[in-house]
């Protein structure tokens, strides 16, 4: 194997969280009188941090806390459990662990939600570290990656790779001197991963397996 440590994004990389995340955004925005019509595409909210998304949605600063609270209330109770595992991911993670890789999660979700999701799918035991947003320690994807690297105890970053489906994953990896692999089954816009400078882009789980286990 070319990598000793493999860091993985969650939403759009390991799971398809479309129903749960977009439903939670619609619920939260409706609570402050800013409903989003059903025909408006919200797939782009999957990946970036919630603060960036609310800014793009035009939520004024005075209403951000209320939206975040409503979103997290609904998402932790309902949305998390509406995610589905990407076909083939379970077997890939098992193969990576058997090959001797150390796995770590690096998600822009609150860390507790990352833990809950992996526990829900029975994947938590495969990860040495489950990392996410931990206020005030981490607020950006780059900071999450740095935090996870420290907690894993990485000494040779040339032997670490980050796998994710959005530009934030690619940028967070490169901020920390890591190779970045973009996966094409997630929620990136056309050309987004290449434009972000991904070192590799794969279209299927089998392609990812071949690259990681080479």
Q: What domains are defined for the chain?
A: 5-16+84-212 (3.40.50.1000), 18-82 (1.10.150.240)
DSSP assigned state of 133:
E
Residues 119-171: pLDDT tens digits? 999 999 999 999 999 988 888 999 999 999 999 999 899 999 999 999 999 99
pLDDT score at 6: 98
pLDDT at 132: 96
Q: Decide if 208 contacts 91 (C-beta within 8 A).
A: no
Note the pTM of the prediction, 2 decimals: 0.93
Element (H, E) at 53: helix 50-56
Instruction: Provide the H-helix boundaries in 105-152.
Output: 111-120, 141-152
Q: What's the CA gap between 178 and 188, in Å, rounded?
A: 20
Q: What distance separates the 2 farthest-apart alpha carbons in the chain?
A: 52
Give pLDDT tens digits for 185-208.
Answer: 999 999 999 999 999 999 999 999
* Catalytic residue set: 9
Other CB atoms closer than 10 Å to residue 202's CB: what's the count?
A: 20
d(CA 198, CA 211): 14
């Amino acid at each position: 194997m070319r990598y000793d440590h493999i860091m993985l994004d969650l939403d759009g990389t390991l799971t398809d969280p479309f129903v749960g995340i977009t439903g939670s955004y619609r619920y939260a925005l409706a609570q402050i009188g800013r409903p989003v019509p059903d025909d408006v595409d919200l797939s782009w909210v999957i990946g970036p941090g919630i603060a960036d998304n609310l800014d793009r949605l035009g939520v004024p600063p005075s209403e951000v806390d209320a939206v975040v609270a409503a979103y997290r209330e609904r998402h932790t109770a309902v949305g998390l459990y509406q995610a589905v595992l990407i076909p083939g991911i379970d077997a890939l993670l098992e193969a990576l662990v058997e090959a001797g890789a150390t796995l770590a999660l690096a998600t822009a979700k609150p860390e507790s939600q990352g833990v809950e999701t992996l526990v829900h799918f029975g994947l938590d035991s495969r990860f040495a570290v489950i990392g996410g947003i931990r206020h005030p320690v981490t607020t950006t994807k780059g900071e999450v990656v740095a935090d996870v690297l420290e907690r894993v105890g990485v000494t040779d970053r040339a032997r670490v790779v980050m796998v994710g489906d959005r530009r934030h994953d690619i940028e967070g990896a490169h901020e920390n001197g890591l190779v970045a692999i973009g996966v094409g089954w997630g929620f990136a816009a056309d050309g987004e991963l290449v434009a972000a400078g991904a070192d590799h882009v794969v279209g299927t789980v089998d392609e990812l397996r071949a690259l990681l286990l080479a």
